[in-house]
Amino acid sequence: MHTLSARVATDPSAPLRLAVVAPGGYGKTRLLRELAKAYHAAGVEVVTDWPTTGADDWRRAVMLVDDAHLLPGTQLRMLREMPCPRLVIACRPWPQSPELADLVHVLDRGNLSSWDIQDVRQICPPVADTVHALTDGVPRWVVRLAEAGGQVTPAVMQYLRYELESLGDDVVSYLVAARSGLGNRIDVLSSLLGYGSDGVAEVMRAARATGFVGPSGSVIPLCSLALAKVVPAEHYLGVLQRLAVLQLDRAEPVLPFARSLVGSGATGSTVATVLSTAAHEVVADNPALAAELFGAAVSAGQPLSGVITDWARAAALSGDLDTALRLADQAILAQNHAGASIAGAALAHRGQWARCAQLYGWARESSFAQIASIAVGSLATVPSSRVDRPPTALDGAAALMADGIRQSVSGDPSSALSCLVQASALLEPAGRDALVPDSPAALAALVAIHSGSLDLASSLVDAAVAGRMGGDVMRVRHRQLLAWIRMMRGQFADAAQLIDGLAVREPRDQLFQTALRVGLARRSGDAVTLRRVWTDVSACLVRHPVDLFTLLPVAEFIVTGARLRDPARLVDAFALVDKLGNPPLWTGPVHWASVQAAIVSENLPAAESHIMALALNPTPYGTALTQAARCWVDVCSGRVEAEVVMACAQGLRDVGHWWDSGRLASEAALRTQDRKAMVSLLDCARHLRPRQQSSPEVSPLSDREQEVAELVIQGMTYKQIGDKLFISAKTVEHHMARIRHRLGASNRSELITQLRALAKVKS
């Protein structure tokens, strides 16, 4: 437009015979106005309403004709034959009579296009993104919305109403169909409009000429908003009803069309069937949308009893457990066993495994009932499964899961892990819409972590995340398990990244999330964050009682509680595993944590019973923990044998306790009086630290000494420190003597300076 006006200003007498063809709203009228201004400024006579009036001399005048597609054939022929050297016409691509086609043929062709986002930003920078998204860059609507501040105001809607009311019924029907995603379905449109393919093509051309439809056949969003509000309900809803019938008759996927029905106000059995059919189509890929579609189907007239369990299942898979439990409870009242299964899965996420076992037992799903029973410490026999259950992949995976969990508490841990890995592999291809109390990948990963097989655990959960096993409701669970594995490996930044931004809603996920935050803060030496997060622990344990599958968080709370001198009330954990016969596979992390708690609390005798319990596990994992625990107690007692320490530290690393392995070696280095042994142990600690680890360097101080140092820096006296840490002032004095010796400080001033430097590095 600007180029053409500049050309006129430069040489207004130059010939210009041009046809500007574009849909409505693309700026044709504006272009003619700009040309008229340019010619007027150059002193050239401008004619816009010929043949009512004419020019004195056509050779010196310019003729500008708008909406040429509306002129009768006689006038178009006269325009083609007249000797005017400067003639510019503007028209839509439809309707195009033979006379208009002849006229356009003898003129140069000019086209106008929609504006891109950069063009829109020049007009309305603050709301450019919103305006461009609503208008697809159609100039007329960009200007209208820009004047309204980017809002679809009543004035804008009124203008849209005027434009739509000026269109024929066929074009409006096509726009409704195009808004529903059927704008390019000639067969459907032919049945809807009652025309053959040629007639449908003519209607499509007419619709595109309005500027409401893009070249791809999609309706601009602003028009979509207007259609539902402006078009008379009997017309709009009537088109949707007919389209619904046509879609069902063709037995094709109906999801794209069904989306347009949500919130449209269309009702009736046909509409309800389309919506529920679409919900079934999408439940595996988008359970949240499926749940919304089921709800819309009920609102459209679908009897709730016909979709109640499908709706509840979709809601549960999407993570909306409140809706799932509400619907499942109604289904249970109607003696619907599927409702009980859904409620059981939902309650597992909320830590109510006992109730979960009852529901699965009533539904005669023995595999999940057995898993739920074992989770709360019961090995009682559960009712057998229904004989009419089809042998699906989920059914097979559930049987393997139950067998694996049973063997994990009373059989061979290797066989248990094998069963769970097989279950995960069986469910992996079709597990996106499998509603389970816990995924086989998650249970297998837990057993693998408890066995010291971090690589296997990581690969299992990675596959589950990639395959979206268990639906969206399991997404947080899987990411937290990956974060736990990263934390055990000392990859703190990776672990934090995995849990940052997670939408954690359910008690089980909240328990693991809190434990991860506690564990990362403790391992990073972040005392401020540790104390702040610790306040959430009690609430998490109240909402989610301890069960067999939450012993990892329990272990973390045992160590942290000892460090903060605020032991968590975790007696239930030992009572639980005692009811199961103290299975070594599951109790290992808890007893290891209890040994660490005894060391942190400087109560070494308390570690002995837990070391004995660790020794009952004859696996490589149990052996490594037992040897490391005894070695650590010896180190804290002043008995440091460098070779033994390094072997035990390497053993810890081999069974997945990467961070602990480095701590053991560094602790021994701090306590030995042998300079050569100290150097070897520090080298060992550095070697055991994970590569690309974002955690701080190994501190030269123990955990307790770091606590004392932090309080000294704050200006507390030995007595105040002792009162805060529940130790005597004399013990504080001994700690300070060891700190001074390790840092090599010659006086108190130098010592405080070094302690502040250490604190700055850690922060």
Q: Tell me, what CATH number does 748's domain have? A: 1.10.10.10
> Chain-wide mean pLDDT for the chain?
88
Asked, for residue 567, whether it belongs to a domain, the answer is no
Statement to judge: residues 91 and 53 lie in one domain: yes
**Residues 383, 367 contacting (CB under 8 angstroms):** no
pLDDT tens-digit readout, 106-117: 999 988 888 999
pLDDT tens-digit readout, 643-656: 999 999 999 999 98
Within 8 A by CB and 6+ apart from 753, the residues are: none
Residue 441: give the domain boundaries: 390-471+478-487
For residue 419, the domain's CATH number is: 1.25.40
In 3D, which of 15, 16, 43 has the Cα closest to residue 32? 16
H/E run at residue 65: strand 62-65
User: Residue 386: its pLDDT value, please?
Assistant: 60
User: Residue 169: its pLDDT value, please?
Assistant: 93
Give the residue carrying structure tokens 């996420």. 349
**Residues 472, 435 contacting (CB under 8 angstroms):** no
Cβ atoms within 10 Å of 418's Cβ, excluding its own: 17
pLDDT tens-digit readout, 139-198: 999 999 999 999 999 999 999 999 999 999 999 999 999 998 888 889 999 999 999 999
Asked, for residue 310, whether it belongs to a domain, the answer is no
Statement to judge: residues 722 and 740 lie in one domain: yes
Statement to judge: residues 455 and 396 lie in one domain: yes
User: In terms of C-beta distances under 8 Å and separation of at least 24 residues, what long-range contacts does 32-36 make, across chains too?
Assistant: 32/64, 32/66, 32/88, 32/90, 34/1, 34/4, 34/5, 35/4, 35/5, 35/8, 35/62, 35/64, 35/88, 36/64
The tally of CA atoms less than 13 A away on the side-chain side of residue 415 is 9
Q: How far is CA 392 from the centre of its chain?
A: 29
pLDDT tens-digit readout, 17-39: 999 999 999 999 999 999 999 99
Asked, for residue 217, whether it belongs to a domain, the answer is no
pLDDT of 251 above 90:
no
The domain boundary residue, chosen from 113, 140, 159: 113
The domain boundary residue, chosen from 113, 143, 177: 113
pLDDT over 70 for what percent of the chain?
Answer: 93
pLDDT of 617 above 60:
yes
User: Residue 693: its pLDDT value, please?
Assistant: 43
Statement to judge: residues 342 and 396 lie in one domain: no
Asked, for residue 532, whether it belongs to a domain, the answer is no
- pLDDT bin (cut points 50, 70, 90) of residue 692 is very low
pLDDT tens-digit readout, 708-742: 888 887 778 888 787 777 677 778 887 887 777 66
Q: What is the DSSP string of 317-340?
A: HHT-HHHHHHHHHHHHHTT-HHHH
**Residues 264, 240 contacting (CB under 8 angstroms):** yes
Average pLDDT over residues 560-585: 85
pLDDT tens-digit readout, 469-513: 999 999 999 999 999 999 998 889 999 999 998 889 999 999 999
Statement to judge: residues 90 and 139 lie in one domain: no
Asked, for residue 318, whether it belongs to a domain, the answer is no
What does the angle CA 514 – CA 516 – CA 521 come to, to the nearest 5 degrees? 100
Statement to judge: residues 20 and 109 lie in one domain: yes
The domain boundary residue, chosen from 365, 389, 413: 389
Helices (H), 300-392: 304-318, 321-333, 337-349, 353-362, 366-375
If one counts the domains in the chain, the total is: 5
Statement to judge: residues 102 and 10 lie in one domain: yes
Listed range (43-57, 276-290, 693-707, 744-758) with the worst mean pLDDT: 693-707
d(CA 16, CA 12): 9
